Amino acid sequence: MSGRRKFIKTAALGSVGLSTFSACATQAAEVLKTTADKTIKKPVIISTWNHGLAANQAAWDTLKNGESGLSAIETGLKISEADPKVRSVGYGGLPDREGKVTLDACIMDKNSDCGSVSFLQGIKHPISVARKVLEKTPHVMLTGKGALNFALSQGFKEENLLTPESEKAWKNWLEKSKYQPVINIENHDTISMLLVDSDGNLTGGCTTSGAAWKMHGRVGDSPIIGAGLFLDNEVGGAAATGLGEAVIRTAGSAMVVELMRQGKSPNEACKIIVERIYNKHKNHKDMPHLQVGFIAVNKQGEYGGYSLRSGFNFAVCDAKNGNRMEKPDFKMTWKD
């Protein structure tokens, strides 16, 4: 196991706000540690990967405007979905092996209501469609053509999500067509976001284009409540990134929440589940390219994360420390 590590965050996103609530704005350079801060004040927003920083900011601003947790999560995640430079989410996401961008997303609120879409094509904001599933249907999950038809019926516009850059990457891949899930290569995979508001109420969401070059029709963990995302408003929430198959096999996010229910801290709970995933996969064919990372937050606003391999990071936003990147501990490096 690696030791505790720190790093300096250099990115900047706007200025430091004046009021307590707006103080989430990113600070220029701050040394950060991975341990959950016991004195942290709610609200807290935590999101996977570097693109979580801009998403956190948008979510924070939405919450600050007095909007709901669902609106904050949706608004935050839409930032990554719309960004063509984020090649693992929404518009510009890397396609499957047939060159099709297929999207998975889910959202869950403090009442345990949830909405999810999987294998959705041609809609830039799957997280918004997932929210509509939650709010407008008697169901939790819609998939494929049915999800698309539902989105169109709700006024969403069908558009081409394959950018020239992602198409070029796919054509390069086609030359060898060697299938291996591409996970965690460039530090900007699935965005999963968890939010605890000032009353301690939880909301969460996930959105992704999934593993690049996946088989057409493959669905990962991200739209599956209990795998890519889970929360229980009495306890806390957890969300995953990494090889979805491994997270589904272990009901990863639900298990992290159950461990917190038993008294584990967010950090401890994430670590125990990553250890479990490692133990179940150490002789598995997926092991050479296996990466999983979890983030978690409890009702008190303590947060944490842990990953199987190095390279995982997450963005955290709270009034005390601003919006910044943190690197959690991990079990092993890619060379181990």
Torsion angles phi and psi, residue 57, rounded to 5: -60, -45
Written as six digits, the tokens of 217 are: 């029709």
Nearer to ligand ASP, 203 or 208 (CB): 208
Q: ∠ at Cα 256 (254, 260), nearest 5°?
A: 115
- Positions that interact with ligand ASP (CB under 6 A): 88, 183, 189-190, 208, 210-211, 220-222, 241-244
Torsion angles phi and psi, residue 266, rounded to 5: -55, -45
Nearer to ligand ASP, 243 or 269 (CB): 243
Nearer to ligand ASP, 59 or 86 (CB): 86
Q: Report how far residue 61's alpha carbon sits from residue 53's, in angstroms, rounded to the nearest whole number.
A: 12
Shortest Å distance, C-beta 228 to ligand ASP: 6
Per the residue annotation, which of 26, 34, 190, 250 is the catalytic one? Answer: 190
Active site residue 163: no
Q: Which 3 state secondary structure label does DSSP give 185?
A: coil
Are the C-beta atoms of residues 23 and 43 closer than 8 Å to each other? no
CB burial class (10 A; 0-12, 13-18, 19+) of residue 199? exposed
Shortest Å distance, C-beta 69 to ligand ASP: 22
> How many other C-beta atoms are found inside a 10 Å radius of the C-beta of residue 302?
21
Nearer to ligand ASP, 69 or 181 (CB): 181
Beta-carbon contacts of 283 under 8 Å, excluding residues fewer than 6 positions away, are none
Buried b (16+ CB within 10 A) or exposed e, 51-70: bbbbbbbbbbbbbbeeeebb
Q: Report how far residue 288's alpha carbon sits from residue 234's, in angstroms, rounded to the nearest whole number.
A: 37
Q: Report how far residue 74's alpha carbon sits from residue 227's, in angstroms, rounded to the nearest whole number.
A: 19
Shortest Å distance, C-beta 252 to ligand ASP: 10
Written as six digits, the tokens of 325 are: 């990147």
Shortest Å distance, C-beta 222 to ligand ASP: 5
Nearer to ligand ASP, 26 or 48 (CB): 48
Q: ∠ at Cα 89 (331, 257), nearest 5°?
A: 45
**Catalytic site positions:** 190
